[in-house]
């Protein structure tokens, strides 16, 4: 039976020399241990000592991975399976491992405020959460479709909904709090429900057959259900919820079960701007 080895989101790198400069300080590198950790994967334990014999040392623990190696993938895992969950990487790996997939390495991949990540988080090509505005202030990192690591200090994203009458609405963010006149997209990465109050309208949508969620591109969806002034609509993996308040509630009220809409997303890194 084939078993796929996966790595929870991390920066993977390897020291290419025996000296390095960090923040203007020169260090020598001593390799304490090095051994294969899996297909195409090598573990390194390094000790960095100041070249000027000053006080202070750095201990580094690295995993270098050839993402082109057979049976190796890089995956993103949320703590306890949701954006509001906190969980250590070892527990996440154990929980995610199956008969066909072994999660064997990983590190935390975001800065957290209380429980939820602060920055834009993507899981399986689907937005798990986005800040209420353009991303910036902390460096973002990820893995592209070819398995290569990418990083950017700033990024921008836009999310729009084209209604049946061809009007276009702007989605403010994903899986965050819905505030005055907001239009928020919720999915199963949020929790069991949207956790919204009753002052709004929520519309359950499902992608049409053959469509897939993406962070850049257009996706067609149909309306499955609409609830006005109820709140906390249930969430599941096979559908999402558009939730509107104030002016956006009025726009969502125009939708009916069976209507088709088009979602258009775009995310760009700073080196693409």
DSSP codes, 115-153: TEESS-EEETTEEEE--SS-B-SS-EEEE-TTS-EEEES
| Residues 6+ positions from 114 with CB-CB distance below 8 Å | none
User: In the beta sheet, which residues pair with residue 5?
Assistant: 72, 102
**CA torsion angle 15 19 21 22 (round to 10):** 50
CB 145 within 8 A of CB 124: no
User: Which of these, 44, 40, 55, 35, lies nearest to 14 by C-alpha position?
Assistant: 44
| Kind and range of the H or E run holding 22 | strand 19-22
Q: What's the CA gap between 57 and 26, in Å, rounded? A: 11
Q: What's the CA gap between 84 and 120, in Å, rounded? A: 14
| CA-based torsion, 99, 105, 111, 114: positive or negative | positive
Through-space distance between the first and last CA atoms of the chain, rounded to whole angstroms: 45
Helix (H/G/I), strand (E/B), else coil: 90: helix
**Other beta carbons less than 10 A from residue 155's beta carbon:** 19
Q: How far is CA 20 from CA 45, 49, 55, 146, 150, in A?
A: 15, 10, 16, 29, 22
Q: What's the CA gap between 178 and 189, in Å, rounded? A: 16
Q: What's the CA gap between 106 and 95, in Å, rounded? A: 13
CA 52 centroid distance within chain: 41
What's residue 257's pLDDT? 98
| Residue ranges of the chain with per-residue pLDDT less than 70 | 1-17, 110-115, 132-138, 271-273
**Other beta carbons less than 10 A from residue 43's beta carbon:** 15
Q: What's the CA gap between 127 and 250, in Å, rounded? A: 25
Helix (H/G/I), strand (E/B), else coil: 186: strand
CB 15 within 8 A of CB 62: yes
**Predicted TM-score of the model (pTM):** 0.83
What's residue 114's pLDDT? 60
Across 60-76, b (16+ Cβ under 10 Å) vs e yields eebbebebeeeebebbb
């Amino acid at each position: 039976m084939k078993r796929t080895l996966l790595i929870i989101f991390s920066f993977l790198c390897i020291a290419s020399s025996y000296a390095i400069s960090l923040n203007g300080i020169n260090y020598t590198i001593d390799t304490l241990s090095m051994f294969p950790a899996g297909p195409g994967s090598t573990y390194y334990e390094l000790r960095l000592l100041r070249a000027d014999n000053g006080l202070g040392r750095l201990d580094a623990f690295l995993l270098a991975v050839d993402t082109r190696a057979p049976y190796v993938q890089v995956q993103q895992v949320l703590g306890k399976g949701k954006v509001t969950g906190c969980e250590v990487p070892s527990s996440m790996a154990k929980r995610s491992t199956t008969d066909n997939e072994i999660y064997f390495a990983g590190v935390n991949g975001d800065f957290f405020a209380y429980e939820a990540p602060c920055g834009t988080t993507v899981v399986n090509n689907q937005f798990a959460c986005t800040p209420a505005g353009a991303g910036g202030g902390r460096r973002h990192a990820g893995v592209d479709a070819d398995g290569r690591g990418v990083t950017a200090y700033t990024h921008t994203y836009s999310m729009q909904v084209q209604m049946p009458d061809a009007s276009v609405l702007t989605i403010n963010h994903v899986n965050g709090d819905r505030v005055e006149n907001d239009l928020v997209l919720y999915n199963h990465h949020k929790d069991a429900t949207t956790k919204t109050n009753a002052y709004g309208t929520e519309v359950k949508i499902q992608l049409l057959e053959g469509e897939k969620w993406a962070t850049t591109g257009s996706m067609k969806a149909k309306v499955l259900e609409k609830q006005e002034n109820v709140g906390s609509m249930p969430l599941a993996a096979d559908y999402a919820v558009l939730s509107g308040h104030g002016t956006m509630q009025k726009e969502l009220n125009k939708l009916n079960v069976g209507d088709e809409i088009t979602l258009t997303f775009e995310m760009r890194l700073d080196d693409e701007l």
